[in-house]
Amino acid sequence: MASTVQVWAELTAVGVDVDAGSTQFWQTTGGAAEYGRYVTYVAQPLELVGAPGTNQYEVHDISHEVDAAGNRRVLLQVTSKGTNPFGSYGLFLVFTDVIQ
Residues 30-70 have pLDDT tens digits of: 877 888 888 899 999 998 888 888 999 999 999 999 999 99
Task: Tell me if 80 is assigned to some domain.
Answer: yes
Task: Tell me if 1 is assigned to some domain.
Answer: no
Task: Tell me if 16 is assigned to some domain.
Answer: yes
Task: Tell me if 2 is assigned to some domain.
Answer: no
Report whether pLDDT(4) > 90.
Answer: no
Which domain does 44 fall in, by range? 7-98
Task: Tell me if 63 is assigned to some domain.
Answer: yes
Provide the number of structural domains found in the chain: 1
Percent helix, percent strand, percent coil in the chain, to nearest 5: 5, 60, 35
Contact criterion met (CB below 8 Å) for 22 and 81: no
Report whether pLDDT(2) > 80.
Answer: no
Q: What is the pLDDT averaged over residues 80-89?
A: 94
Task: Tell me if 79 is assigned to some domain.
Answer: yes
Task: Tell me if 23 is assigned to some domain.
Answer: yes
